Amino acid sequence: AQSVSQHNHHVILSEAASLELGCNYSYGGTVNLFWYVQYPGQHLQLLLKYFSGDPLVKGIKGFEAEFIKSKFSFNLRKPSVQWSDTAEYFCAVNARETGGFKTIFGAGTRLFVKA
Amino acid sequence: DGGITQSPKYLFRKEGQNVTLSCEQNLNHDAMYWYRQDPGQGLRLIYYSQIVNDFQKGDIAEGYSVSREKKESFPLTVTSAQKNPTAFYLCASSMMGTAPAYEQYFGPGTRLTVT
């Protein structure tokens, strides 16, 4: 069965620090990859997605993620975080299983950015 | 203004009572989903539906039931058989089509507390 692993459950950074959140998955076939973000008091929303093509994808608010197929990874990065990036971040993997495609979410990483 | 609405935002019930959570979308999406979000466990799929009058069990369907009588609506009933019903419940929807996976759009969630 698929699984998605997010390595850090809690991350605390100061403003302007660089961010990298790890995401690894266990599935050998073709995958579609997502990062979602949940800001305090707001809906869960899409940050970026990868279906095919350039493995480096750019999302909203200066975030990017790199798909490394050989490492089964889709890490999220931002060169310089802001206080407003404080949120919970979820990695999700969509892949074909019996009966169709299924999406599995990671456990989430809570990011707190100190002003 | 298109989106997904869930009501109520907070719900309190006594143990042994069934409770129904509402989810409505006006995005004209074919697929709808119910997730349960618990701290440190990410989003776990309860049920999903890809077409009216049809739905499938997710990973943790025991103790829950759903219906999909209209495209716009996908209510979730938490029954008294659910052993640990206190949680944050999220409803989502997505398009269906030739692409293998579309992003999911999420509602604001309902926090259910059972005592």
CB-CB under 8 Å, A105 with B43 = yes
Indicate the average pLDDT of chain B.
Answer: 91
Q: What is the mean pLDDT of residues A60-67?
A: 96
More confident residue, A28 or B20: B20
Give the closest of B42, B45, B108 to A107, CB-based.
B42
CB-CB under 8 Å, A90 with B43 = yes
Distance from CA of A106 to the nearest CA of B (A): 5
CA end-to-end distance (rounded Å), chain A: 41
pLDDT at A1 over 90: no
Give contacts of B54 with chain A, Cβ < 8 Å: none
> Could you read off the pLDDT of A48-61 as tens digits, one per residue?
999 889 999 999 99
Mutation for B interface: A45, A57, A103, A109, most B CBs within 10 A: A103
Backbone phi, psi, residue B58, to 5°: -95, -150
pLDDT at B99 over 60: no
Distance from CA of B16 to the nearest CA of A (A): 29
Identify the CA nearest to B34 among candidates B106, B102, B86, B99: B106
pLDDT at B96 over 90: no
Distance from CA of A52 to the nearest CA of B (A): 11
Element containing residue A91 per DSSP (H, E) = strand A87-97
Q: How far apart are CA A90 and CA A113, in angstroms?
A: 17
Q: What is the mean pLDDT of residues B89-110?
A: 83
Backbone phi, psi, residue A71, to 5°: -105, 0
> Could you read off the pLDDT of B33-67 as tens digits, one per residue?
999 999 888 899 999 998 999 999 999 999 999 99
% chain A with pLDDT above 70? 97
Which residue's entry shows tokens 């989903």? B33
Tell me which of A59-63, A90-94, B99-103, B108-112 is least confident. B99-103
Q: How far apart are CA B105 and CA A80, in angstroms?
A: 27
pLDDT value of position A99: 66
Q: Give the residue on A whose Cα is nearest the Cα of B6.
A: A43
